[in-house]
Amino acid sequence: MTDRVVLAYSGGLDTSVAIGWIHDATGAEVVAMAVDVGQGGEDLDVVRQRALDCGAVEAYVADARDEFATEYCMPALQANSLYMDRYPNVSAISRPVIVKHLVKAARQFGATTVAHGCTGKGNDQVRFEVGITSLAPDMTCIAPVRDLALTRDKAIEYAEKHNLPIATTKKNPFSIDQNVWGRAVETGFLEDIWNEPTKDVYNYTDDPAFPPVADEVIISFEAGIPVSIDGVAVTPLQAIQEMNRRAGAQGIGRVDIVEDRLVGIKSREVYEAPGAMALIAAHQELENVTIEREQARFKRTVDQRWTELVYDGQWFSPLKRSLDTFIADTQKYVTGDIRMVLHGGRATVTGRRSDSSLYDFNLATYDSGDTFDQSSARGFIDIYGLSAKQAAARDEKFGQGPTL
C-alpha cells in the first residue's frame, strides 16, 4: 500500500502547491483535510474540490465552527487574551483544533505522517508540531515550505506551471489566515513597516473614518460567556458572528502591529478582529465589576501568561491546563449585562449591571447616604504606611534619604 500523508489544507497557495510537492518529494499519496473554523468567504466545497484538482487522493472538510467558538474562543475571551496587549491570538487559538482534527484524520486514513504549510520563520510550525507531539507522539510531521524548500516564489511558479486553481499570484502576494475570531494578513508590501495598509488589506471591517450611525448594544454574560445580545439568546458562535457584523460595520478591531514571534523575529502583521475586540472589552469591564481586587490583580498576570503560552503553541501544556482551572474559577460571578456604543472604530462601555456586582453605591457615593466610615481611614493609613515610615527614618539616619 502506498504511504499516505494527511495535509492540513487551507485552500491557499502554500498548501495547494504542497500537495504535488509532497508527492514529488516523497512518493506518498496526499489526503487533504480542511477544518471549517468559520473562516467564511470561499465555499468549503470549492476548497475541497480544489484540493482534489491539485492532486489529493482524498479531501474532506471538518465542520468545527461551534467547537472552535465554544472550546477555543470562549477560553480566550475569559482570559482576555491579547498578545502584547493588542492582538487577540486569532491564528494561535485555531491551531489546536486543526491539530486535533488532523490527528483524527490521520488515524482514520491509516497515515503515520501529517503535514502543514508553515514556514520555518513563523509561529505556526511550532503550534502545529508541538500540538501533534502532544496528541500523537508516534506520528511524523513534515513541513514542505520549511523542509522541502518550497519558497513563496517557487510556489507561485509551481502553481502557474501546473495551472493550479490558486487565486494568489505575484500581483496579490498577501498571506491571509482567517477564522470567526479574526483575520490575519502579512507579507507583500506590508513587510516594509513604513508602508501604510491599503484599503484592499481589510475585509472584516469597514473604514472607521466613515462610520454609520452609532450602534448601541447590550451583551449579557453568564460565567464569563456571552449568552444574549440585545435580549436575544445566542450561542458562542452566534455571539461572535453578530459582533463581527456590528463591530465590523463600525471599523472596530483593526490592529497593525510589529510583534515578537516565538522564533525571535519581529514581524509586521495586520489583523481584523471586530467581534473579538468588542467582546473582550465588554468582558473586561464586567470583570471589573464582579471580581475581587486581589483576585483581579493576579488574574491579569495569569491572563498574560495564558496568552503567551497559547501564542507560543503550548495549548496542550500542563501549565496552560492549570491556568485554565484558575481562570474558570474566577468566572463564577462574571454574570451580568454590559451596554456598549459601537462607533467610528471604538467600542465604548456606557453601562454595567450585575446581581453579583461588588460595586456598592452607598460605599462609593460622596453624597448623603454614604455608609463608608471615613474615620477609619486615618488608622488604616498609619498602619499601611508604617513600614515605609520606618525605612525612611533609617535612610535619614544614615544620610541616604531622598534629595529635596
Catalytic annotation present for 357: no
Q: Residue 26 CB: number of other CB atoms within 10 A? A: 16
Out of 50, 94, 124, 246, pick the active-site residue. Answer: 124
Instruction: Answer yes or no: are the C-beta atoms of 12 and 62 closer than 8 Å.
Output: no
- Structure-block grid coordinates of residue 3: 504511504
Rounded to 10 degrees, the C-alpha dihedral 389/391/396/402 comes to: -90
Amino acid identity for residue 373 in this structure: D
φ, ψ for residue 273, nearest 5 deg: -150, 65
Closest CA to 3 of 25, 29, 32: 29
293 annotated active-site: no
Distance (Å, whole) CA 270 – CA 257: 6
Q: Are 339 and 217 in contact (CB under 8 A)?
A: yes
Q: How far is CA 394 from CA 222, 305, 370, 384, 404, in A?
A: 52, 38, 40, 18, 17
Q: Do the Cβ atoms of 128 and 99 come closer than 8 Å? A: yes
Q: Can you name the residues that pair with 88 across neighbouring β-strands?
A: none
Closest CA to 35 of 111, 116, 136: 116
Amino acid at 384: Y
CB 336 within 8 A of CB 244: no
Please report how the helices 124-135 and 94-108 are oriented relative to each other, as an axis angle in degrees rounded to 10.
50
CB burial class (10 A; 0-12, 13-18, 19+) of residue 353?
middle
Which entry of 50, 95, 246, 268 is annotated as an active-site residue?
A: 95
**CA distances in angstroms from 24 to 20, 117, 401, listed in the order given:** 6, 16, 74
Annotated binding site: 8-16, 87, 117, 119, 123-124, 127, 175, 259, 271
**Phi and psi dihedrals of 42, rounded to 5?**
-75, 140
Name the catalytic one among 175, 220, 267, 354: 175
220 as an active site residue: the answer is no
Residues annotated in the binding site for L-aspartate, as ranges? 119, 123-124
Q: Which residues belong to the annotated binding site for L-citrulline?
A: 87, 123, 127, 175, 259, 271
Q: Residue 41 and residue 34: Cα distance in Å, rounded? A: 14
Q: Is 95 a catalytic residue?
A: yes
For the chain, the farthest-separated pair of C-alpha atoms sits apart, in whole angstroms, at: 86
From the list 4, 14, 152, 220, the catalytic residue is 14
Q: Active-site residues: which are they? A: 14, 95, 124, 175
